[in-house]
Amino acid sequence: MYDVTALGEVLIDFTEAGASEGGMSLFERNPGGAPANVLVALQHLRHSTAFIGKVGCDMHGDFLRGVLEGEGIDCTGLISDPKYFTTLAFVALAPTGERTFSFARKPGADTQIEPGELARDVIADSRVFHVGSLSLTDEPARSATLEAIACARDAGCTLSYDPNYRANLWPSVEVACEHMRSIVSSMDLMKISDEECGLMTGESDPVAAARVLLERGPKVVAVTLGGSGALVATREGTREVPGFPAEVVDTTGAGDSFWGGFLAAFLESGLTAAQVTLDDAANFARMGNAVASLCVRGRGGIPSMPARETVLELLGA
């Protein structure tokens, strides 16, 4: 059995990495994609994972498959399709480490997975099934995501959701809100960033946003607060969990690593989502904060995820 299976995008992040002698920007090829990043964090924390998605039959797709398999992630459900090119994202970094994205995804292979291509046996053999929101932007991936969620629910999986808003991948904010909110009621565990509160709930305040999400179905909600840590919410109430100090170079993968740590702690608790108390959720978030702080010490994304021993050392400090 897999601890966590994720469906969604795996792609190339071409990240700014200085300039050439002629003053032209240089870009470094990094593996990326939020659901894949979550799985890598979990693998580093010694949890078994599987990925479901689609890449192209090209140099970038081969590279991504090799990275995921090298991390120990089961890629039975990762399809290489010769009809489409692997999705690319070009990432510009501000001095604060924050990012802006430009996507080559018209269409990208990740948007072209079809319901009939889902590795249903992998989903059914998972304790937690996790999705993001980029697989909801286009058909047929949107229908595949909805079908996978239904399959996971029927199999008794815990459902996990981390929406990730990228404005230039949606025709409008209104359409993004409609589709990103559409699956909330199916979820058990959910994470958003403080910047996504208004988009996902209509409430800009993290406490109010977390309460709205709880009313819509999830049993546990976490709202990441940047360098301040995270806020967690259950039916008992809300609580802020301070983060750990970190020198921010690049925030790529920080939220994903937080959620990987959170899910790892949830799995290790042996609890169901409905059994999680506010104290439990705070402990899960502390693990997530530790993983995230170690991830953002260097250039983010898949290569920088910390080892379990490093995380436990920080937690025990």
Residue pair 260/39 in contact (Cβ under 8 Å)? The answer is yes
pLDDT of the residue at 298: 42
- pLDDT at residue 253 in the model: 73
pLDDT at 247: 61
Question: Is the pLDDT reported for residue 61 higher than 70?
Answer: yes
User: What pLDDT was estimated at residue 252?
Assistant: 61
Tokens of 126: 């998972």
- pTM of the predicted structure, to 2 decimals: 0.93
**Is it the case that residue 296 has pLDDT exceeding 60?**
no
Q: Is the peptide bond before 140 cis (omega within 30 degrees of 0)?
A: yes
Name the DSSP class of 205. Answer: S
Instruction: Quote the tokens at residue 300.
Output: 């983010």
Which residue has better confidence, 51 or 227?
A: 51
Residue 303 has pLDDT above 50, yes or no: no
Q: Is 11 exposed, middle or buried (0-12, 13-18, 19+ CB in 10 A)?
A: buried
Which of 19 and 181 is assigned the larger pLDDT? 181
How confident is the model over 193-204, as a mean pLDDT?
A: 96
In DSSP notation, 293-307 reads HHHTTSS-SGGGPPP
Q: Is pLDDT above 50 for 257?
A: yes
> How many Cβ atoms are within 10 Å of 26's Cβ, its own excluded?
11
Dihedral pair phi/psi, residue 96, rounded to 5°: -75, -10
Mean pLDDT score of the chain: 92
What pLDDT sits at residue 50? 98
Q: What does the pLDDT read at residue 304?
A: 67
pLDDT of residue 294: 86
The pLDDT score that the predictor gives to residue 53 is 98
Higher pLDDT, 172 or 94: 172
